[in-house]
Each structure stands twice: as C-alpha cells, then as structure tokens.
A and B are shown apart, each in its own frame.
Chain A
Amino acid sequence: MPLWDWNYAFDILPDLLLALVTTIEITVLGSVVALLLGLVFAVLRRLHIPVLDQVLWAFVEVVRSTPLLVQVFFLFFVLPQFGITLSAFVVGVVGLGIHYATYTSEVYRAGIDAIPKGQWEACTALSLPRLRVWTGVILPQAVPRVLPALGNYVISMFKEVPLLLAIGVVEVVNEARELGSLTFRYTEPYTIAGLLFLLLSYPASMLVRRLERRRAAA
C-alpha cells in the first residue's frame, strides 16, 4: 500500500470540504459574538459602573484563566442540568465567542485608551450626548487601530474550532478522524485537513500583516 493514495485523497476531499464549511461557519459566527461582546465588555468596563464593573472583571478573569475545553464541556454537559440545552454547533459558536470576547475586550480597551484625552474634552465642549461620543468619535478612531489585533484573534479562533470535536461537532479534523477510522488510512485525511487550515490561515495572516503595515504607515 502506497504511503499516499491520490484516488483516496480525491474521494474524501468533498467530505472534508463540507466539514470545512462547518468550521468556517463556526468561525464567522463565533467571531461576530467575540467582536460584539468584546466591544460591549470594553465599553462597559470603561463606564466604571459599580458592581457591574467587578462582575465583569471577575467574569473575564475566570474565562481567561480556564481552558476553553472546560468552558465548552460546561456549556454542553452542565447547562442542560439547568434546563438549557444547546446543540453542539451553538455551543461551539457561543463557547468560542465568549472565550475570545474576553481577549478582544482587552484589545478594544487598549484602542480606546489610546485615544487622546483632548478628543473626549472636545466632545464635552460640544456637549455631545454620551452615546454619540462613543459611536461618532471614540470608536471610529479606536476600532480601526486595533483591527490587526482583532484579525489575529479571528485566525486563532479558526484554528481552535477542531477542539469542538470533543462535543461531536463535525468540523474538518473530526471528519478526518472519522474517515480515517473507516479505512484505517489516516495520512490522507489528516494531511488534507492540515493543508486546508494552512490554505486559509496563511493568506489571512498575510492580510492582517498588510493591515498592520498600513496602520503603522498611516
């Protein structure tokens, strides 16, 4: 038996690509959760609302200090005991989204802190309503600065999706594992799975690097 069987490789490719679609779906939806929730965390922290500030701080610390796998297991196996049953797909999106929101919130925070004090003071001098200060002045300046950092987290998240095989999500690596266990040929499925990640991650990180350079030049 050859080490690499092209026919077999082409046979399993459609199944792996189909699973890749799931991986991408989870990444995209998880990113939406992470990018929005992280922004909400960052802005809320900045408002220094008593109690909520401490609660958010504790939440962020707990999420960042525990493994993603534990959080995913918690959402998938423990929440049903409290009457909340989520599908593996939804747990993947929510789990990754919340986990990465705690990181993106730090990124946003750094971006917000980098806005000169004079910008806030100009807003006060114009009597701008608080919401407009955020949506019209602060965030439009803070977010573009941190886009490269956010992009890097999206790429990290993409590469962490295979962790969800632990709760049975049929993403690329899980599909590869199942295909392999049917035929006892693992070289092709895992190699293709790895290549698929490489094919998407590498151009994406090149894109982020270009964004970084453009930011630095601006």
Chain B
Amino acid sequence: MPPPDTTASTPGSTTEPMIVFDGVEKRFGSNVVLKDLSFTVAPGEHVTLIGPSGSGKTTILRLLMTLEQLDEGTISVGGRYLSHELRGGKLTPPREKYLRDVRKHIGMVFQQFNLFPNMTVRGNLIEGPTRVLGLSKAEANSRAEELLDLVGLKEKIDAHPTQLSGGQQQRVAIARALAMRPDVLLLDEVTSALDPELVTGVLKLLQDIGESTDITILCVTHEMGFARDFSHRVMMFDGGRVLEDAPPDKLFTDPDHQRTKDFLHAVLDH
C-alpha cells in the first residue's frame, strides 16, 4: 500500500521527507542504544517500529518528542532540525523556545496515557490548543467536542480521567494529541497497558484516524496484526540498528533475516 495521496495540507513539498534521522547515536551511560541510525519517513507515511525490547524503538520516539537528547547526528522534522538549532549557518544546541516551536508539530500518545488528573477531559483537550496554539476557549471547546465524538466519548467531556477506564483514558489521550493538529504523531505502545478486551477498540480507532487524516505516524507496538494493517512500512530493530525495512506484506511473510523470522515467531506464538 503506497502512502495516501492526501498530503496537500502538509507543510513543505511532498517530496521532502517529514522525518530525517541522520547518523543518530544515543547512549545511556556506556550503553549504546542507537548506533549510526539513518532513515527518513515521508509525509503521511505510517511506519511501525518492531523488535525485541531494548532494541531502541521507544528511544526513537522519545528523541523525536525531545524527551531525550541525542549524542551524535541530527534529527529533523518538517525540514527543521529538532536536535539542533540552525543559527548563523551553524548547528547549535537548541534553545527551549525554538524547541517548543518545533515540538508543536509533533504529538505523542504514551503507554500510560498520562492524562492530567487535575483536569476534566475537556480541560485536558483544550489545554494545549488554548495555551500553545492560541485558540480561544470557544474554538478549543468545539475542537474538543469534535474529537471526543471521533473517539466515541462525547458524554465523558466533563468527567475526570480517574473516572474513566484505561481504554477510555487512552482514547482521550489520543484526542488530546490530535487536538494540537500535529504533522507527526508518535504512538508509544499505546495498547500495552490496556486490558485485553479494550485493545481492539483503541486499535480500530487508530486505524480510522490513520485512514482519515494525512498525519505522519510512527508507531511502536507489539500488536503485529495492527502493524500489518496499519503501516505502509515496518522497520525491524535489533541492537540499536535497523535490521530490516520493508512494507508489511514483505516483512511479515518473507523477511530477509533469520533474526526477524525468529522475532516474529516469538511474538506471534503468544
């Protein structure tokens, strides 16, 4: 399946990649998590990262969200450096103000939802749009209502996160990320903390969102069925490197590497 041809509203030319990793290295102490990693993601593309735990998949999402700083290389999103700030033709460490500006175009949904428990669902949804994008309360509110309708939780708008089930909380978290109208959406094991019976609904929702928007989506998941249906491309990671990078049909049915076969065997046997 090719990337959807609905990239008209994506900033920049459609031929420019949305995400560029160039020679990225990330270490935690002496532990090298990512080594000389380079890849690009096209606008509107859905890429799923799979691989054994500790292979650096989540670190890639966290680097993109600037929750971690890289040690070597560069990362750019939408044509702007995320890892550095270009000042006077030189790459310098990014300042907070610059980072906030680039980050605005990136949204993330976490394994543990991370909704703000001191706010209602509505509060969670209008927080970013009003405080960061400068929307009026009314505009943010109607956007929140629209999104809650999309995720099927319209009647929960005045509930507190603690009154919701895990699946409902994750739907709100997805709506919260979408409320920022991001160009890039990062999904970090979003169903791993859910009760099994709630997983399907959330995956279905993501599938719908993937089909109805042109957001570039990077996804770390252990749900191989979802990865297969949802992605245009699957990247298999092992030991901080991309072992294999192929469309899902190829990677899941006829992988090049024995390591990939073994991994798929292990997770699909579950």
Which of A's residues lie within 8 Å of B, judged by CB? 116, 118-119, 121-122, 124-130, 132, 136-137, 140-141
The reply to whether A128 and B67 contact each other, CB–CB distance below 8 Å, is: no
Which stretch (B72-80, B96-104, B213-221) binds chain A? B96-104
Q: List 14 other contacts, CB 8 Å, given A122-B114, A127-B103, A127-B180.
A: A118-B114, A119-B114, A121-B67, A122-B116, A125-B107, A125-B108, A126-B127, A126-B128, A126-B131, A126-B132, A127-B128, A127-B132, A128-B127, A129-B100
Q: Does B235 touch A at the CB level, under 8 Å?
A: no
With a CB–CB cut-off of 8 A, which chain A residues contact B116? 119, 122, 136-137, 141
The reply to whether B115 and A140 contact each other, CB–CB distance below 8 Å, is: no
The reply to whether B132 and A128 contact each other, CB–CB distance below 8 Å, is: yes
The reply to whether A129 and B132 contact each other, CB–CB distance below 8 Å, is: yes
The reply to whether B110 and A127 contact each other, CB–CB distance below 8 Å, is: no
How many residue pairs bridge A and B at CB < 8 Å? Answer: 60
The reply to whether A141 and B118 contact each other, CB–CB distance below 8 Å, is: yes
- Distance in Å from the Cβ of A125 to the closest Cβ of chain B? 4
Known: A118-B112, A118-B114, A137-B118. A124 touches B131 (CB 8 A): no
Q: Which of B106-123 contact A (CB under 8 A)?
A: 106-108, 110, 112, 114-119
Known: A121-B110, A137-B118. A126 touches B67 (CB 8 A): no
With a CB–CB cut-off of 8 A, which chain A residues contact B10? none
Give Cα distance in the complex from A127 to B118, angstroms: 18
The chain B residue with its CB closest to the CB of A128 is B131
Cβ-neighbour of A126 out of B66, B96, B118, B176 (below 8 A): B176
Q: Does B65 touch A at the CB level, under 8 Å?
A: yes
Give Cα distance in the complex from A119 to B180, angstroms: 17
- Distance in Å from the Cβ of A123 to the closest Cβ of chain B? 8
With a CB–CB cut-off of 8 A, which chain A residues contact B108? 121, 125
The chain B residue with its CB closest to the CB of A133 is B131
The reply to whether B110 and A124 contact each other, CB–CB distance below 8 Å, is: no
The chain B residue with its CB closest to the CB of A131 is B131
With a CB–CB cut-off of 8 A, which chain B residues contact A128? 127-128, 131-132
Give Cα distance in the complex from A49 to B114, angstroms: 27
Q: Does B60 touch A at the CB level, under 8 Å?
A: no
Q: Does B47 touch A at the CB level, under 8 Å?
A: no
The chain B residue with its CB closest to the CB of A144 is B118
Give Cα distance in the complex from A169 to B114, angstroms: 51
Interface-central residue, A119, A122, A141, by most chain B CB under 10 Å: A122
With a CB–CB cut-off of 8 A, which chain B residues contact A124? 65-67, 103
Give Cα distance in the complex from A141 to B117, angstroms: 8
Cβ-neighbour of A132 out of B65, B103, B131, B177 (below 8 A): B131
The chain A residue with its CB closest to the CB of B101 is A127
With a CB–CB cut-off of 8 A, which chain B residues contact A136? 116, 119, 127, 131
Give Cα distance in the complex from A119 to B118, angstroms: 11
Give Cα distance in the complex from A213 to B107, angstroms: 38
- Distance in Å from the Cβ of A198 to the closest Cβ of chain B? 37
Give Cα distance in the complex from A122 to B173, angstroms: 10
Give Cα distance in the complex from A127 to B127, angstroms: 10
With a CB–CB cut-off of 8 A, which chain B residues contact A119? 114, 116
Known: A136-B127, A140-B118. A127 touches B104 (CB 8 A): yes
- Distance in Å from the Cβ of B44 to the closest Cβ of chain A? 21
